[in-house]
């Protein structure tokens, strides 16, 4: 999902990530770190540097901002996309008819040498790892990796995390002292990133990624470009931005609400698509970040909390900053730094 990196609801720059951070960046692509990290940090942005003539407009760009050459042995860091088990039942994993998969993507880096990709069956703790090697610095190249079907262990038919693809950028010795796999295996930690180049060796280092496609079979087809609205809707299954106003913007009306009583404001918000599961709420809070206009009056609001969260919508509430009469209704206005989002990520 979002293999062309065109959707980035959370913003276009994610700075000072590192020291064990786990954070979603461009939609469906998460930065992940495992182990005991030191000083290593990076920034991920949505960029316009793309392969020439391939139809892409955006890419994911990672830049090392703080060097760490003394990598602890138990560490590994990577860009990952996670998959629901119910979306992968057609792979027939665990059966004699298990399907092969082909991953194709475009990548660019100032670093040449060995990079690694790990395919992880989370339900059964199984691994397939492979390498690819950018041959020319600062040049877009297309890479294709085909992996066999796995006849051991099926994927659960659920909406939880069952499978991952990881683009590794750094690995300590305990994550790289084995051998790259030639078949699916019970996950051995040392086989995850054998030969992996250390992205955190210099603040001059960068890594670009776009055109990511995972498909059944042993041949990579041309990238399937989706209409923007379809791509956005697939992303909104996992993350939905009700309002996000950058600092300094004047904001505007973004939802409506009603007074349940003289001191409780409710706002029901229907989602544009069914989310994966009941979401969590994230709100930027601060003095007078929101305004509720009703009955020729206005209440300045600092925050909201979640009272009902369902896959199809959510009820948010303020019971600290309003004073009116039950039954009054009105519009809720944002001010600078307002932000209300819902997350149902894997």
What is the pLDDT, as a whole number, of residue 10? Answer: 96
Strand partners, 74: none
Alpha carbon 113 to chain centroid, angstroms: 26
Tokens of 95: 């059966």
Query: Whole-angstrom Cα distance, residue 280 to residue 309?
Result: 7
**Contact call for residues 111 and 62 (beta carbons, < 8 A):** no
For the sheet with 239-244, list strands across it: 239-244, 339-343, 280-283
pTM of the shown model: 0.97
Kindly report, residue by residue over 184-224, the tens digit of the pLDDT.
999 999 999 999 999 999 999 999 999 999 999 999 999 99
Q: What is residue 320's DSSP assignment?
A: S
What was the pLDDT predicted at 43? 98
In three-state form (DSSP H/G/I as H, E/B as E, the rest C), the secondary structure along 79-114 is EEEEEEHHHCHHHCCCCCCCCCEEEEEEEEECCCCC
Helix-, strand-, coil-residue percentages of the chain, each rounded to 5: 5, 45, 50
Q: Which bin fits 229, alpha (ψ -120 to 50), beta or left (φ > 0)?
A: alpha
For each successive 10 residues of the chain (346 residues), what is the average pLDDT? 98 90 96 88 98 98 92 94 98 98 98 98 98 98 98 97 98 97 98 97 98 98 98 98 82 95 98 98 96 96 98 98 96 92 98
| Residue in the structure block whose two tokens are 């280092």 | 205
The per-residue pLDDT for 71 is: 80
CB 60 within 8 A of CB 27: no
| Rounded Cα gap, residues 91 and 100, in angstroms | 8
- Per-residue DSSP letter, 235: H
Is-contact 121 162, C-beta < 8 A? Answer: yes
Instruction: Output phi, psi for 342, to 5 deg.
Output: -125, 135
Q: Are 87 and 161 in contact (CB under 8 A)?
A: no
Backbone angles phi, psi at 151, to 5 degrees: -85, 0
- pLDDT tens readout for residues 6-53: 999 999 999 999 877 899 999 999 999 999 877 899 999 999 999 999
Pairing of strands 59-66, 206-216: antiparallel
Distance in angstroms (rounded) separating the CA atoms of residues 181 and 242: 44
Distance (Å) of CA 282 to CA 92, 256, 339, 342: 37, 18, 8, 6
d(CA 59, CA 62): 10
């Amino acid at each position: 999902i979002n293999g062309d990196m065109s959707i980035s609801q959370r913003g276009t720059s994610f700075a000072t990530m590192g020291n064990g951070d786990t954070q979603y960046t461009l939609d469906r692509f998460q930065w992940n770190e495992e182990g005991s990290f030191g000083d290593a940090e990076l920034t991920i942005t949505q960029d316009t540097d793309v392969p020439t003539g391939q139809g892409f407009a955006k890419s994911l760009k990672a830049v090392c901002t703080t060097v760490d050459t003394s990598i602890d042995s138990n560490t590994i860091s990577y860009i990952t996309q996670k998959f629901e088990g119910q979306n992968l039942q057609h792979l027939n994993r665990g059966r004699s008819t298990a399907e092969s998969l082909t991953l194709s993507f475009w990548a660019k880096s100032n670093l040449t040498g060995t990079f690694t990709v790990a395919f992880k069956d989370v339900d059964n703790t199984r691994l397939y790892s492979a390498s690819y090697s950018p041959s020319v610095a600062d040049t877009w190249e297309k890479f294709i990796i085909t992996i066999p079907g796995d006849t051991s262990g099926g994927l659960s038919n659920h909406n939880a995390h069952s499978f991952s693809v990881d683009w590794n950028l750094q690995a300590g010795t305990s994550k790289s002292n084995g051998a790259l796999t030639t078949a699916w295996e019970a996950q051995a930690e040392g086989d995850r990133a054998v030969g992996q180049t250390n992205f955190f060796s210099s603040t001059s280092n960068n890594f670009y990624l776009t055109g990511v496609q995972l498909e059944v079979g042993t041949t990579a087809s041309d990238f399937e470009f989706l209409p923007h609205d379809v791509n956005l809707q697939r992303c909104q299954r996992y993350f939905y931005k009700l309002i996000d106003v950058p600092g300094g913007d004047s904001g505007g009306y973004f939802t409506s609400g009603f007074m349940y009583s003289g001191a409780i404001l409710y706002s029901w918000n229907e989602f544009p698509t069914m989310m994966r599961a009941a979401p969590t709420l994230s709100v930027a809070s601060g003095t007078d970040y929101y305004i509720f206009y009703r009955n020729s009056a206005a209440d300045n609001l600092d925050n909201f909390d979640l009272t009902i969260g369902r896959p199809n919508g959510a009820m948010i509430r303020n019971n600290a900053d309003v004073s009116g009469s039950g039954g009054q209704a009105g519009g809720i206005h944002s001010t600078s730094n307002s932000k209300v989002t819902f997350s149902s990520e894997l």
